[in-house]
């Protein structure tokens, strides 16, 4: 059995832009013809995608940030992450930028950890999570944070403790939960099965986000 997702596309008989935020996302309404000939209406949150970083130090600790997330009204512990809404930006460069801007760290070793769709029943958001190792404090002044990022605590957490927090239901950020579990599995195998940082990513969105798309 070839256990792999594969591309597929049902016919779209009609598609309209239901909402343009002018910021990150749009909402599109598609009329989709199903294999039995019936038609279903599906609302799609169109998203530019994002990258996340699971940074591990030499003591097997993972770098987490605490950030307020208004839709769920929670302070969530998360890894560094960011949108791919800079037109033409390479995802690895974006991940390196987020590690620097959000935590003021750099890393000399980068690999692909996982590629995921965050909620494929409602959005096309695709995320690539990198594993960053050989981590050290970045040079120069810290990036000036704004909005919810202004007061983010930064914490190095033992990987085993982070896994326990995920499995006990105390951590909920999807990049964090998936990335932490994947990093623990990768460590068990000696990091032998990781893909290179420039591995192909056909699921990566080419859409630049609502602000750029409607500029």
Residues involved in catalysis? 149
Do 102 and 80 contact (CB within 8 A), yes or no? yes
Residue 200 buriedness (CB in 10 A; 0-12 / 13-18 / 19+): exposed
Q: CA–CA separation, 40 vs 88, rounded Å?
A: 34
Supply φ then ψ for residue 150, to 5 degrees.
-60, -40
Where helices occur in 32-90 by DSSP H, the ranges are none
Q: CA–CA separation, 203 vs 83, rounded Å?
A: 15
Tally the C-alpha atoms within 13 A of residue 161's C-alpha that lie toward its C-beta.
11
Nearest to 127 by CA among 65, 197, 52, 68: 52
Classify 180 as helix, strand or coil. Answer: helix
**Cα-based angle 17, 22, 27 (whole degrees, multiple of 5):** 30
Note the maximum CA span of the chain: 61
The separation between CA 125 and the C-alpha centre of its own chain, rounded to angstroms, equals 9
């Amino acid at each position: 059995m070839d256990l792999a997702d594969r591309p597929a596309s049902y016919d779209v008989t009609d598609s309209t832009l239901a909402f343009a935020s002018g910021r990150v996302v749009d909402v599109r309404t598609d009329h989709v013809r199903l294999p039995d000939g019936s038609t279903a209406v599906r609302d799609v949150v169109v998203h530019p995608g994002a990258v996340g970083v699971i940074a591990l130090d030499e003591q097997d600790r993972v770098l987490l940030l605490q950030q307020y997330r208004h839709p769920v009204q929670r302070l969530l512990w998360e890894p560094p992450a960011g949108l791919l809404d800079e037109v033409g930006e390479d995802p690895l460069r974006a991940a390196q930028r987020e590690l620097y801007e959000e935590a003021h760290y750099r890393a000399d070793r980068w690999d692909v950890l996982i590629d995921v769709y965050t909620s494929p029943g409602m959005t096309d958001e695709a995320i690539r999570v990198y594993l960053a190792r050989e981590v050290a404090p970045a040079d120069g002044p810290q990036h000036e944070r704004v909005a919810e990022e202004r007061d983010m605590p930064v914490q190095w957490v033992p990987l085993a403790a982070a896994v326990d927090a995920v499995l006990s239901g105390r951590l909920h950020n999807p990049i964090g939960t998936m990335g932490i579990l994947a990093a623990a599995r990768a460590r068990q195998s000696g990091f032998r099965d990781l893909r290179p940082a420039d591995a192909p990513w056909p699921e990566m969105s080419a859409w630049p986000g609502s602000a750029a798309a409607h500029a």
